[in-house]
């Protein structure tokens, strides 16, 4: 088994490492854009790294922002308990990242219809996204987890879409991030020891709250790539 067949190989990728893409779709696109010297593949630089662990423990996503020339794509490594797959995504055309208010104003099709009996933070993601008249991307529903980036943590919602219509980029993934706010509660109580002396006992509870009013949503589109079409060049 080669190193890149192990999840730890991808988990160890660091900022400024090079992700080399050699798939036909990527190289064809870059050549059409006038880029040259792609004989050995296209060298993308890792500019950001995030990891999302699903709450149910059944999935993990490594998300690498990778830069080439003047644009950014995303390499996503999705793993389950026994295997993993690679995907390359780009920012979905004409979609602007933002919070839930921005979605209602500019991309209300990404969330279910907002009615008077619901708060904006309660809206689920749409079960399908239409692209033109004939292409429909569908999802089995949202997955929830914690996103780790350096020492920061946030609550993450992951919604994966796919279409069964022939398409160069048949996948979409919607990501929403909410702030996590830690809390700590101390409670003092009096207790008598074996000798009848009174002692003060302090118990501490810790936890986190999800700030549902904070929100950052992005939508990516792309396709799966073969393991042989991706290499990591360590810096």
Question: Mapped to the 3 state alphabet, what secondary structure does 106-117 carry?
Answer: HCHHHECCCCCC
Confidence at residue 1, expressed as pLDDT on a 0 to 100 scale: 55
Confidence at residue 203, expressed as pLDDT on a 0 to 100 scale: 77
* 63 sits in which H/E element: strand 60-68
Confidence at residue 192, expressed as pLDDT on a 0 to 100 scale: 73
Q: How far apart are CA 21 and CA 232, in angstroms?
A: 9
Count of CA atoms in the C-beta half-sphere (13 A) of 235: 13
Confidence at residue 82, expressed as pLDDT on a 0 to 100 scale: 81
Residue 134: Cβ within 10 Å count? 9
Confidence at residue 189, expressed as pLDDT on a 0 to 100 scale: 77
Confidence at residue 74, expressed as pLDDT on a 0 to 100 scale: 98
pTM: predicted TM-score of the whole model, two decimal places: 0.89
Which tens digits make up the pLDDT trace of 29-43? 999 999 998 989 999
Confidence at residue 184, expressed as pLDDT on a 0 to 100 scale: 74
Collapsing DSSP states into helix, strand and coil, what is residue 164? coil
Q: Which residues of the chain have pLDDT under 70?
A: 1-2, 183, 207-208
Which tens digits make up the pLDDT trace of 180-212? 987 677 777 777 777 777 777 777 777 668 898
Q: How far apart are CA 232 and CA 235, in angstroms?
A: 9
């Amino acid at each position: 088994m080669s190193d890149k067949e192990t999840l730890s190989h991808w988990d160890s990728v660091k900022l400024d490492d090079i992700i080399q893409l050699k798939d036909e779709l990527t190289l064809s696109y870059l050549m059409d854009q006038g880029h040259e010297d792609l004989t050995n593949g296209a060298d993308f630089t890792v500019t950001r790294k995030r990891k999302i662990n699903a709450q149910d423990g059944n999935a993990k996503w490594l998300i690498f922002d990778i830069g080439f020339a003047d644009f950014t794509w995303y390499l996503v490594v999705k793993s389950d308990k026994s295997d993993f797959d690679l995907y390359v995504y780009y920012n979905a055309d004409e979609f602007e990242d933002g919070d839930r208010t921005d979605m209602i104003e500019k991309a209300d099709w990404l969330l279910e219809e907002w009615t008077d009996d619901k708060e904006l933070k309660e809206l689920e993601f749409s079960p399908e996204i239409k692209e033109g008249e004939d292409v429909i991307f569908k999802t089995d529903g949202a997955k929830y987890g914690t996103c780790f980036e350096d020492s920061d943590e946030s609550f993450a919602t992951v919604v994966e879409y796919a279409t069964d219509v022939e398409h160069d980029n048949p996948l979409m993934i919607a990501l929403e991030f909410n702030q996590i706010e830690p809390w700590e509660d101390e409670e003092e109580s009096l207790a008598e020891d074996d000798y009848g002396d009174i002692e003060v006992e302090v118990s501490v509870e810790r936890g986190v709250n999800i700030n549902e009013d904070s929100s950052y949503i992005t939508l990516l589109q792309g396709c799966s790539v073969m393991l042989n079409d991706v290499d990591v060049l360590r810096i």
